[in-house]
């Protein structure tokens, strides 16, 4: 079960910044891309990362329902935005509360060190799209950076532009070799400008 929790945590981290473009009513809806990007430029300290993932897996007539509630703790993670690119680096722990088929499997903690990411980003209104992963990591020697795809979220700037909140909500569905997996992921990341 511990490996399952780690794999689910990895899945959420890699997919948490992918969602459908669902507009949110904010002041940023009419901001041009260049202006919004200049407001993001600089160093940002990651304050919190929370995600809830509900997954249903079916194979050969058997089903497994998993709920994973994750929270990053002991955050030491910095994201730096330039006009159209970003880098991220640091470490944190992921606490995962796992429930499988209605049975609580307790909480596991995974320590992630030397985590880094980089890529380009763009904004349109209050939508932000990354072409790289904010969180890239290696698990049991497996480099996960190749698994990243374009990632989209809704963002808001508050506290006079000093707090950045990125929210994602997505539904995922995959079917491969007789295995059907459907997931719903809700996540929020909060960063403070340094």
Q: What is the pLDDT of residue 22?
A: 38
Token representation of residue 118: 């980089």
Query: Which positions of the chain have pLDDT values less than 70?
Result: 1-35, 135-149
pTM given for the model: 0.75
Q: What is the pLDDT of residue 27?
A: 43
Residue 99 CB contacts under 8 Å (≥ 6 apart), including other chains: 66, 67, 68, 105
- CA-nearest of 1, 8, 51 to 166 is 51
End-to-end CA distance of the chain: 39
Q: What is the pLDDT of residue 34?
A: 57
CB 181, CB 157: distance < 8 Å? no
Token representation of residue 31: 């901001």
Q: What is the pLDDT of residue 43?
A: 97
Strand ranges, E, within the chain? 42-59, 62-81, 85-100, 103-124, 127-130, 138-139, 142-143, 151-158, 163-176, 179-193
Let me know if 16 is exposed, middle or buried by CB neighbors in 10 A (0-12, 13-18, 19+).
Answer: buried
Per the DSSP assignment, residues forming a β-bridge with 55 are 66, 183
Q: What is the pLDDT of residue 33?
A: 55
Alpha carbon distance 32, 177 (integer Å): 44
Q: What is the pLDDT of residue 99?
A: 93
- CA-nearest of 56, 15, 1 to 153 is 15
**Where along the chain do its domains lie?**
2-193
Q: What is the pLDDT of residue 35?
A: 63
């Amino acid at each position: 079960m511990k490996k399952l929790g780690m794999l689910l945590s990895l899945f959420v981290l890699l997919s948490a910044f992918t969602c459908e473009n669902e507009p949110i009513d904010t002041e940023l809806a009419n901001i041009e891309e260049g202006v919004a990007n200049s407001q993001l430029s600089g160093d940002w300290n990651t304050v919190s990362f929370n995600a809830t993932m509900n997954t249903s897996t079916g194979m050969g007539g058997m089903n497994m329902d998993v709920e994973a509630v994750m929270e990053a703790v002991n955050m030491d993670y910095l994201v730096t935005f330039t006009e159209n690119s970003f880098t991220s680096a640091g470490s944190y722990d992921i606490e995962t509360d796992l429930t499988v088929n209605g049975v609580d499997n307790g909480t596991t903690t995974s320590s992630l060190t030397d985590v880094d990411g980089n890529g380009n980003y763009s904004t349109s209104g209050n939508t932000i799209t990354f072409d790289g992963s904010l969180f890239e990591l290696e698990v049991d020697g497996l480099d996960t950076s190749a698994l990243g795809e374009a990632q989209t979220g809704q963002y808001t700037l508050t506290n006079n532009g000093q707090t950045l909140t990125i929210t994602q909500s997505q539904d995922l569905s995959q079917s491969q070799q007789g295995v059907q997996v459907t997931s719903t992921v809700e996540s929020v990341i909060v960063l403070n400008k340094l």
